[in-house]
Chain A
Amino acid sequence: MIDVRNISKTFEGAEEVKALVDVTTSIEAGDVVVVIGPSGSGKSTFLRCLNKLETADEGGHIYIDGVDVLHPKTDINKVRAEVGMVFQQFNLFPHKTVLQNVTLAQRVVRKRDKGPAREKAMQLLQKVGIHEKANVYPDNLSGGQQQRVAIARALAMDPKVMLFDEPTSALDPEMIGEVLEAMKTLAKEGMTMVVVTHEMGFAREVADRVIFMDHGAIVEEGTPEHFFVNPIHDRTKLFLSQIL
């Protein structure tokens, strides 16, 4: 489903930052991949390169569902419509109600009629358990509720892949559970997911595969059993000992 070959990303600026260094991996349809690693290791950059919110350096390739993402002739908006993304800061549209947040892209990008878009939105809001708040503005919701709306908003596009960038890191502890629950449901339904998170419980329970990144490179990847029971690399061991 996702094929990443030799991707690097350099941020130009006062000083050059190599955020990704020659990353190669592939993700099968239906897989849930959890990306972990210390702060600044390039997890977000990796995720953001997948839907071209950041443009990877020349030389590498990214294929999503067979489409060459970095090819100049590729319509990136078509790719993005197939790839949902959930952000740490939710990024809901504050000037639109919950319902409008979920219908907007359906109407504008998918060109769905009002009725079907609304129906789809209500169905997804129900799924993430927030349909009573359909006509409320995002500012009046708790963080956990906002993040669930953000998930519904991304799902409304019928994406083939969902990307999550630390979806629970900005949440109060008592709200983390509800968001993880929604994500678990999604995983069980067979959604292809790439999740950057520090929630090791989620990784252990849901992940098909865990990727550990450090200094912009993939250090180690494998099943959760492999990872949490007998990791190979010292850096992985050190990181896990700090976080667990």
Chain B
Amino acid sequence: MIVRKRIAHHAFWQAAFFGIIALGIGLLWWASSEVEYVWRWYRVPQYFIAQMDVEINAEIEGTVKAVEEKGDKVFITVAGAYDKETYAAPAGSARVYEGDFAFPGDPLAVYEVTRPGILLQGLWITLKVSFIAIIFGILLGLFTGLARISDNPCLRWLAITYIEFIRGSPLLVQIYLWYFVFGTIINNLLAKQGIPPISSLWYGVASLAIFAGAYVGEIVRAGIQSIHRGQTEASRSLGMNYVQSMVHVILPQAMRRILPPLAGQFISLIKDSSLLGIIAIRELTKATREVVTTSLQPYELWFVCAILYLVLTFSLSMFVQYLERRTLIS
């Protein structure tokens, strides 16, 4: 625990902090108005929640025979010379009355639906990709860390090779490799068997998980090695096997030391998922880029994008801090 002294003029420096932040925002606003940028924050929400009109159109030519409301639905029946069709729509959305004549394509009912906007969809993809990659990254890292300190040279060398390869090349290159090389090969092989191709999302997940796994492996190794050898000896001398000793004695203790660097690694992973746009995964960054090109409001949107990442990473680090506190108690 760091003990801080209360410095002289404490309140002044607190005020200075808020002053500097306000100044920064003010400067940005001033500079943007100098280049004649018009801020239109009101245009942002539509990219989170989109309202869309949905039309129900007649498919045949005929007379509207019935408009019946039943509960929260309305049923519109159109009878033609040879056939009869009934259309369902939400109650109150009917635009025709009994006896009206309808041609194919005429709107019978119009109602609004609320859909998640592009940014929200992008956020969801980022969340999904990161979550899956984190789960696999943990599993992979755990095995790598254990293999890295194994007495078996095959396992140990495999772990070292994996770690060095992954840490030795840029993630961007690895993503390209996964998508354009391994992805192409795998999908071609699948096609030969008549199996539909695996979507790029999964190659993105693979590249992130395998990238994170190498770093997690090193974190796990360091965590395990920081536990005194006496703990292994005590548990093994009681007759526990390797797995029992790891699960009940070593890993629970190592967890406390593994958690903080692990949080950092996974925060990186969430941010790195922004690279997946290059292989046509419409995650948050790519979604933002698309919206920017249609809306022409880049300033607002890139700020929103940054803040959404901040929300994700901050939630993750809060969650890990909570876990840390829990392992501290037990």
Instruction: Enumerate chain A interface residues (CB-CB to B < 8 A).
Output: 51, 53, 77-78, 80-85, 87, 89, 91-95, 104-105, 108-109, 150, 153-154, 157
Contact = CB atoms under 8 A, between A and B. Distances in A.
Interface string B222-248: 000000101101111111110010001
A104 B248 contact: yes
A156 to B, nearest CB: 9
Contact of A83 (B233, B237, B244): B237
Contacts of A84: 237-238
Per CB-CB distance, the 9 closest pairs between chain A and chain B, nearest first, are A81-B239, A91-B234, A105-B238, A91-B230, A85-B237, A109-B239, A80-B239, A77-B239, A108-B244
A139 B233 CA distance: 19
Given A104-B248, A108-B244, A91 B239 contact: no
B253 interface: yes
Nearest to A81: B239
Contact of A53 (B231, B233, B240): B233
B238 A153 contact: yes
A83 B239 CA distance: 9
Contacts, number: 62
A105 B239 contact: yes
Nearest to A51: B237
Contact of B239 (A87, A93, A150, A157): A157
Secondary structure of the A contact surface, majority rule:
mixed
B244 A80 contact: no
Contacts of B240: 77, 105, 108-109
B230 A89 contact: yes
Interface in B199-238: 228, 230-231, 233-238
B330 interface: yes
8 contacts: A53-B237, A80-B237, A81-B238, A87-B234, A93-B253, A95-B252, A109-B244, A150-B234
Given A104-B238, A105-B239, 19 more contacts: A53-B236, A80-B236, A81-B238, A83-B237, A84-B237, A84-B238, A85-B234, A87-B234, A89-B230, A93-B249, A94-B253, A95-B252, A95-B253, A105-B235, A108-B248, A109-B238, A109-B244, A154-B237, A154-B238
Contacts of A87: 230, 233-234
Interface of B: 228, 230-231, 233-241, 244, 248-249, 252-253, 327, 330
Secondary structure of the B contact surface, majority rule:
helix
A79 B267 CA distance: 46
A92 B235 CA distance: 9
A157 B238 contact: yes
A94 B235 CA distance: 12
**Residue of A78, A81, A89, A91 with most partner-chain B CB within 10 A:** A91
Contact of B233 (A91, A92, A94, A108): A91
Contacts of A105: 235, 238-240
A119 to B, nearest CB: 18
A69 to B, nearest CB: 13
A84 B249 CA distance: 17
Contacts of B236: 53, 77, 80
Contacts of A77: 236, 239-241
A87 B232 CA distance: 12
Contacts of A104: 238, 248-249
A30 to B, nearest CB: 22
Contacts of B237: 51, 53, 80, 83-85, 154
A80 B239 CA distance: 5
Nearest to A94: B253
A93 B233 contact: no
Contacts of B330: 95
Contacts of A95: 252-253, 327, 330
Nearest to A89: B230
A84 to B, nearest CB: 8
A94 B228 CA distance: 11
B253 to A, nearest CB: 5
Nearest to B245: A108
A64 to B, nearest CB: 13
Contacts of A81: 238-239
Contacts of A92: 234
A104 B237 CA distance: 13
A144 B234 CA distance: 17
A97 to B, nearest CB: 9
A113 B254 CA distance: 27
Contacts of B233: 53, 85, 87, 91
A91 B238 CA distance: 12
Contacts of B252: 95
Contacts of B241: 77
Contacts of B230: 87, 89, 91
Contacts of B244: 108-109
A105 B244 CA distance: 9
B116 to A, nearest CB: 43
**Residue of B228, B234, B238, B249 with most partner-chain A CB within 10 A:** B238
